[in-house]
Amino acid sequence: MRLQHPFIRLPFTFDHQRLSEEASQFSQNQWMPHPTGLKGNSAIALISSGGGNNNSFEGEKKATAQLDQSPYIQQVLGSFGEVLSRSRLMKLDARSEVTLHVDFNYHWFSRVRIHIPVITNPKIIFHCAEQQLHMQAGECWIFDSWRRHNVVNPSNQDRVHLVIDTCGSSRFWNMVEAVADLPVSKIEAQAQYLPFRPNKKPVLRTEKFASSPVMPPGECQALIEDLIKDFKANENNDQTLVSLYVKLLNNFARDWRELWLLHGHRPEAILHYRNLIEHTRKQLHPNIRALTTASNDIGVNPIFVQRVLNAALVPEASLL
């Protein structure tokens, strides 16, 4: 999600020692490897698709067995009062890094990730765009995942963060707006501390519908318009190819709307939707960086594929 600043400190602090105790209860073999095999990166699922040990963005989100064993983490999650998406403990091993990347798939268009450092070291640095930061244990931060970012851990200590994904209600974003331009020292001075309260079990609200079985045509058009605006703004792009892509993407949005008006979520529409997706996919330029965005210099092809084509239709078993 795009933010007005690379990093924004939120006005909350948490008991990092208690969080550390709960994170330390899990054995090494319970930490899931990174889905892309990124060395030194692993996670404990807390809220996941179906409540299982998985990395899926799809489906109903439920608490996992690991979260049931972690009463203070439950209280931390519940303290935001938001509808929660995929959330986890994320570990970065000593002398490891999260390589430079941008989060551009469908999930991240509308969701922000809250970071609460649990176990950390002053040498561990989070880079986002032109800024860099050490997040101290117990603090609470969000960052702009649309900008290029990475994390470097040169220390001899593993780093563990509690990360919480949410779209955020108006209440959440009004709070973010209120603190976004304040000095960090002022936010720290007014930060609300959440202690561990024994026997308190909050009611957590989790995502029930991560996406529609068929992407609504209005959402499809909005995603495409946002992408077109971004790559048209890049003066280094080939203007002939820009015109071709504007037509290609707009044609997809118009034909998707036509199919949706004819068929909606009906199972007999699956083949029609798939054919349109594949027809459009085949027309993409073979060079994934033939066009790039102005905002972060990412190839238009992978953004369009991940954010629109791959997200436009869920597996047929979910259609009604």
| pTM for the whole structure | 0.94
In degrees and rounded to multiples of 5, residue 183 shows phi and psi of -60, 145
Q: pLDDT band for position 210 (50/70/90)?
A: confident
Pairing of strands 96-101, 149-153: antiparallel
Dihedral of the alpha carbons of 99, 70, 170, 214, in degrees to the nearest 10: 70
Helix, strand, or coil here: 157? coil
Q: What is the pLDDT of residues 152-189, one digit of tens each?
A: 999 999 999 999 999 999 999 999 999 999 999 999 99
Q: Which domains does the chain have, with CATH numbers?
A: 7-206 (2.60.120.330), 217-318 (no CATH)
> What pLDDT score was predicted for residue 139?
98
> What pLDDT score was predicted for residue 51?
97
One-letter identity of residue 255: D
Q: pLDDT band for position 87 (50/70/90)?
A: very high
Question: What letter does residue 134 receive in the DSSP assignment?
Answer: P
Q: pLDDT band for position 37 (50/70/90)?
A: confident
Indicate if the pLDDT at residue 54 is higher than 80.
yes
β partners of residue 214: 313
The token duo for 191 is 């930060």
Indicate if the pLDDT at residue 119 is higher than 50.
yes
> What pLDDT score was predicted for residue 89?
98
Helix, strand, or coil here: 33? strand
CA 48/CA 56 separation, integer angstroms: 7
The token duo for 102 is 């941008």
Contact 42, 34 (CB under 8 A): yes
Indicate if the pLDDT at residue 291 is higher than 90.
yes
Look at the block and give the residue holding tokens 């997040």: 135
Indicate if the pLDDT at residue 320 is higher than 50.
no
CA 246/CA 256 separation, integer angstroms: 15
Number of continuous H segments (helices) and E segments (strands) in the chain: 10, 15
